[in-house]
A and B are shown apart, each in its own frame.
Chain A
Amino acid sequence: MRAWAVHLAVLAALLAAGLLLPGYHTTNLARILVLATFAAGYNLAFGYTGLLSLGHAMFFAAGMYAAALPAWHWGWPAAPALLAGTAGGALMALATGALALRTAGVSFMIVTLMFAQAFALAILYFNGWTGGDEGFVIPSASRHLFGTSLAADTPRFLAAWSLFALGLLLSLALVRSRFGRVMVALRENEERARMLGINPFAAKLKVLVISGAWSGAAGAAYALLFGYAGGSFAGIQYSILPMLYVLLGGAGTTLGAVLGAGLMFYLTEFASSVTSAWLFLVGLVLVVLVLFAPKGILGWVRARLWRELP
């Protein structure tokens, strides 16, 4: 019960921050929440199940294009586009996961990286359809949800917040469910889980599909909220970012994704105002985290302060 209360309090605080802070931060928060949804999906695979994927950009981009291409070519409205994006991410995860999950550890990382790379190249190759590297702007007619335009600050923030809230509460319910325990069991000791009668392949595939659906929804929302889809979102950088957020916030904690995304976003914001070398910061944070704090901020909280943190 305490866990639900904490999560609802965090959501309420985010809502208040988005509505009360000036417009600049409202836009930032909308971006952070969409990226945090992406990271939360990544966290289900990496943090809870131990599937270290280097290819989540392909799920994000699959969702983005599954939503943006129908909107661009056929003028789909936002709601079906968002659903198509979620389905796109899930399908992509199902297709690649069925193959990639035959491997584990380092091989799994490289296989996912290679699939993502092939997908990113395919977006460039079919540039007549996808707009290639330059991408395209989503027609504003498709950026309306329930009659309000998603291009304005407050509705955009509210849409991002709703998506994030839905994702957060669903993932809390998921990790506290029976299947959530299966996920952690697979992360901790796959052999033992198998002996307990769990089918590791089927369970991991299920997790990856859920994670892909999350990422796809985030990708679709990103395109619809910010009005642009492009090949760069399929690049390796967008596979690294959710990993960075999750590592910083705390892998295997439900709130770690949003904490990591928010901190990293404002850290890079701050760094770009001082120097143009913000990429250096990303690299440095990654190395420092791996070296000194592999459990992240909330992982430390869980170890020291509150053992029941979900």
Chain B
Amino acid sequence: MGFGPFLLLALMEGLVTAAVLSLAAVGLSLVFGVMRVVNVAHGEFFMLGAVIAWFVAGLVPGPAWMAFLAALVLAPLVVGALAAAVDGLVLKRLNYDPEATIVATIGVMYMVQQAALSFYGPDARPVAAPFDWRFQLPWFGYSGYKLFVVAAAVAVLLAVWLGMTRTRAGLVMRATQVDRDVARAFGIDVERVYMGTFALGAGLAAMGAVLYVPISQAHYLMGHDPLLLSFIVVIIGGLGSLRGTLVAALVIGLSDGVISMFFSPTLAKILATLLVAMVLVFRPQGLFGAKA
């Protein structure tokens, strides 16, 4: 293969990374935007989604796409319910204090990780893709499912965007985001909005994981990278900005694909983490956010 096809492959891989990133990050962004809570356990919700997909694949007979659809419905529901419980039992009692909630979600992260290790085990296990179709380019063949992931990410982001801007629930969430006291004065049940947002954010992570797991494997420590990368995307894009998150996912995903292909994945991650730190230090509103 010459340089051109190599670059094309790197960009395609980067596009898939960007799709996975935006799926993982959109929930984190939503939770931070509305609740001002940095959810360190977000990566574990992602991991739980993948693990549930594996369990469902074992339980549902028939073709792989049936199990896939079942997981796509079940995983967000289960993980969302768990997140709602975490919100009610822990975050609400902390009065959503930003620093205390970070420490508490670190605790939740360890508990979920350990639970997955105890009940699921230390092995990485594959989950079959819902369909098995490859298309042939002149230089290499490429998995059709990966392109499906990209399309699904676009659809999910579009749905979240429409939900936030066009529905009553989205309006209520945005009102809470802008000023929770005024929202409460207008009769909005802020605590219910918070619980719903937290569950929605976790559910989106789980859904992203169900989409992602066929091109990877389910493992109890798999939440670590999505968490880190989601942080990176959300911060570079500007905390709480959906459009920024999308742009940042594209930038980070594509550059990650190229740097990983031509240099090393570790170097790509080092550069991305340093970039985040620098963005927070010198441009806290994010590269694409409006000036605060």
Contacts and interface: CB of A to CB of B under 8 A. Distances in A.
Interface of A: 52, 54, 99-100, 102-103, 105-107, 109-111, 113-115, 117-118, 121-122, 124-125, 240, 243, 247, 276-280, 282-287, 290-291, 294
A282 B117 CA distance: 14
B199 to A, nearest CB: 18
A42 to B, nearest CB: 13
Given A99-B281, A102-B281, A276 B276 contact: no
B108 A106 contact: no
B60 interface: no
A188 to B, nearest CB: 15
Interface in B68-118: 90, 93-94, 98-100, 102-104, 106-115, 117-118
Interface stretch (B148-156, B187-195, B263-271): B263-271
Contacts of B260: none
10 contacts: A54-B102, A99-B281, A100-B277, A103-B281, A106-B98, A115-B273, A118-B273, A118-B277, A286-B103, A287-B108
A27 B268 CA distance: 40
Contact of B107 (A100, A114, A115, A290): A290
Q: Which of B110, B270, B282 has the most CB of A within 10 A?
A: B110
A280 B273 contact: no
Given A106-B98, A111-B277, 14 more contacts: A106-B38, A110-B231, A110-B235, A111-B276, A111-B280, A111-B281, A115-B273, A118-B273, A240-B106, A243-B103, A280-B114, A280-B115, A282-B107, A286-B107
Contacts of B93: 291
Contacts of B175: none
Contacts of B269: 117, 121
B284 interface: yes
B169 interface: no
Interface of B: 38, 90, 93-94, 98-100, 102-104, 106-115, 117-118, 228, 231-232, 235, 264, 266-267, 269-270, 273-274, 276-278, 280-282, 284
B277 A114 contact: yes
Contact of B110 (A100, A114, A122, A283): A283
B39 to A, nearest CB: 12
A65 B126 CA distance: 37
B104 A290 contact: yes
Lowest 4 CB-CB distances: which A-B pairs, in order?
A283-B110, A286-B107, A287-B107, A283-B111
Nearest to B269: A121
Contacts, number: 113
Contacts of B280: 103, 107, 110-111, 114
Contacts of A102: 281-282
Contacts of A113: 231
A286 B104 contact: yes
A165 to B, nearest CB: 30
Q: Which of B94, B107, B109, B276 has the most CB of A within 10 A?
A: B107
Given A99-B277, A279-B114, A284-B111, A247 B103 contact: yes
A296 to B, nearest CB: 12
A114 B276 contact: yes
B236 to A, nearest CB: 11
Nearest to A243: B103
A276 B118 contact: yes
Nearest to B224: A236
Given A103-B280, A111-B281, A283-B114, A125 B103 contact: no
A39 B282 CA distance: 30
A56 B25 CA distance: 26
Contacts of B107: 282-287, 290
A282 B99 contact: no
A105 B239 CA distance: 14
Contacts of A294: 100
Contacts of B235: 110
A291 B104 contact: yes
Nearest to A54: B102
Contacts of A290: 94, 100, 103-104, 107
A87 B264 CA distance: 31
Contacts of A283: 106-114
A121 B270 contact: yes
A109 B101 CA distance: 12
B111 A280 contact: yes
A276 B115 CA distance: 11
B270 A118 contact: yes
Contacts of A100: 277, 281
Contacts of B231: 110, 113-114
Contacts of B270: 118, 121-122, 125
Contacts of B98: 105-106
Contacts of A121: 266, 269-270, 273
Contact of A286 (B110, B228, B266, B278): B110
